A and B are shown apart, each in its own frame.
Chain A
C-alpha cells in the first residue's frame, strides 16, 4: 500500500500532471483562463509528430526483431478485442449505436496518456523501448473498424438507413489527420534515423515537455468543463469509465508478462490498453455512427478515464508490474 501511495505522489508531482490540475482548478474556481482554440490543436499535432518521429528513430536503431513483432501483434490483438467485450458490457444498458461508439473509443488509445506514462517512467529511471510508439500507432485505428462492424451486426436494416461505405470507413480509420501524422512521422523517423534526430532535436526533444505541459493545462480545462456532462452520463457509465481501464490494463499486463516484455514497455502497453481515444475516434464515430451521442463517448473518455489514468491509473499499473515482475 505504501508503495502505491509513493508511486501516486511521484506521478502527481510531475509538472505536466500538476498543470493538468491547474487547468481543472481554473474551471472550478471560475477563472477566465482560456487557451485560444487553434493552439491546443497545434500542440496536439506537435505531440503526435514528436512522439511518432522519436519512435521511428528508436525503431530504426532496434530494428524489427521477434520481440518487436510479438509486441505489435499483442497491440493489434488488444485493439480488436477490447471493443468486442466492452461492447457487450455496454449493451447491458445502452443501445447498439452508443455501445459501439463507446466501445470503439475504449478500444483505441490516448497518445497524451501514453506520453504522460513515458514521462512517469523517466522520472522513475525505468527504460522503455521507442518502438512502443509503433504499438501506439497500430492501436489507433482497428477499434474504429471493429466498432462499425459491431453496430452493423447488431442493428437490422430497418432500424438504420446506413450506407455501409467501406472506402469512407477506411478513410476515417486510417487516414484521419491524427493517425496519418503519427504514422507518417514514425516512417520519417525510421528513414532518417539518428541523423534526422540530431537535426530536429531542438524542436522534437528540447521543447517536448514544455509543449506537453501546456497541452495538459488545456486538457485540464477541457476535462473540468466536461465534468458537467457526468450528471447526464449516470452511474453505469462512470463506473464503466473507471473499471474498464483497470480491467484492460490487467489483461494487458498479463499478456505483457506472457510474452516477457521489459517492465517499462509493459507499463506503456498496459496504459495503451487502458486509455480511451478523444482525438481520432470521436471524429470517425461522428461521421460513421451519427446515431450515437458524442457527449457520451467524449465525456467518459475525457472527464473520467483520462484523469483517472494520469492521476491514479499509471501508478496503479506500475504497482501491478512491481508485483508481477518481482
Chain B
C-alpha cells in the first residue's frame, strides 16, 4: 500500500472543461466524472432540475501522487474562485501501484 492524494471536485458541468484541462496540465490524467449530481451548496441551492436548465452538477474524482497536490490546488483554485464549486484533497492509501505511484 502507498499513500496517494484523492482529489474530489463538485462544480457546474459548464466548468468541467476548464477543470479537466487544469488537471491534465499538472499531469493528473486519470480521473472519473459523474454527471447529474444533485447537491446543496453553501448558497443553499439544490440543483435538481439539471435536465431542463442544462446546468447539471458534475463530480470529478482523481488520484495523484502527493507532490502533485499543491500544483493542482494552484490551478483549480482560480477556477473555483471565479465560477464556484468545491474541492477537497485527502490522503488515502492505494492498494495496487498502477498509475499514481508509477509516476513518483
A279 near B54 with CB under 8 A, answer: yes
Q: Mark B1-38, 1 if CB is under 8 A from A, else 0.
A: 00000000000101100000000000000000000100
B55 within 8 A of A: yes
A282 near B51 with CB under 8 A, answer: no
B52 near A286 with CB under 8 A, answer: no
A295 within 8 A of B: yes
A40-B54 contact, Cβ under 8 Å, with A283-B14, A286-B12, A290-B83? no
| Cα A302 to Cα B53 with chains together (Å) | 9
A218 within 8 A of B: yes
B52 near A219 with CB under 8 A, answer: yes
Describe B's contact surface by its main secondary structure: mixed
Which of A37, A222, A280: most chain B Cβ within 10 A? A37
For B52, the chain A residues whose CB sits under 8 A away are 40-41, 44, 218-219, 222, 278-279, 302
Describe A's contact surface by its main secondary structure: helix
B36 near A37 with CB under 8 A, answer: yes
A286 near B55 with CB under 8 A, answer: yes
Q: Which of A287-316 contact B (CB under 8 A)?
A: 287, 290, 293-295, 298, 302
| Cα A188 to Cα B46 with chains together (Å) | 38
B49 within 8 A of A: yes
Q: Mark B45-59, 1 if CB is under 8 A from A, else 0.
A: 100111111111000
Q: Mark A265-286, 1 if CB is under 8 A from B, else 0.
A: 0000000000000111011001
B36 near A282 with CB under 8 A, answer: no
B53 near A37 with CB under 8 A, answer: no
For A39, the chain B residues whose CB sits under 8 A away are 51
B55 near A282 with CB under 8 A, answer: yes
A290-B49 contact, Cβ under 8 Å, with A37-B36, A295-B43? no
For B12, the chain A residues whose CB sits under 8 A away are 286
For A283, the chain B residues whose CB sits under 8 A away are 14, 53-55
A41 near B51 with CB under 8 A, answer: yes
Min C-beta distance of B22 to chain A, whole Å: 15
For A41, the chain B residues whose CB sits under 8 A away are 50-52, 54
A37 near B84 with CB under 8 A, answer: no
A253 within 8 A of B: no
Which residue of chain A has its CB nearest to the CB of B18? A287
B82 within 8 A of A: yes
Min C-beta distance of B10 to chain A, whole Å: 15
| Cα A176 to Cα B53 with chains together (Å) | 13
B contact residues vs A (CB 8 Å cutoff): 12, 14-15, 36, 43, 45, 48-56, 82-84
A contact residues vs B (CB 8 Å cutoff): 35, 37-41, 44, 161, 176-178, 218-219, 222, 225-226, 278-280, 282-283, 286-287, 290, 293-295, 298, 302
The 9 tightest CB contacts between A and B, nearest first, are A40-B51, A222-B49, A41-B51, A37-B36, A283-B54, A287-B14, A290-B83, A37-B51, A282-B53
A–B pairs, 17, beta carbons within 8 Å: A37-B50, A44-B51, A219-B52, A222-B49, A222-B52, A280-B54, A282-B55, A283-B53, A283-B55, A286-B12, A287-B83, A290-B83, A293-B43, A294-B55, A295-B43, A298-B53, A302-B53
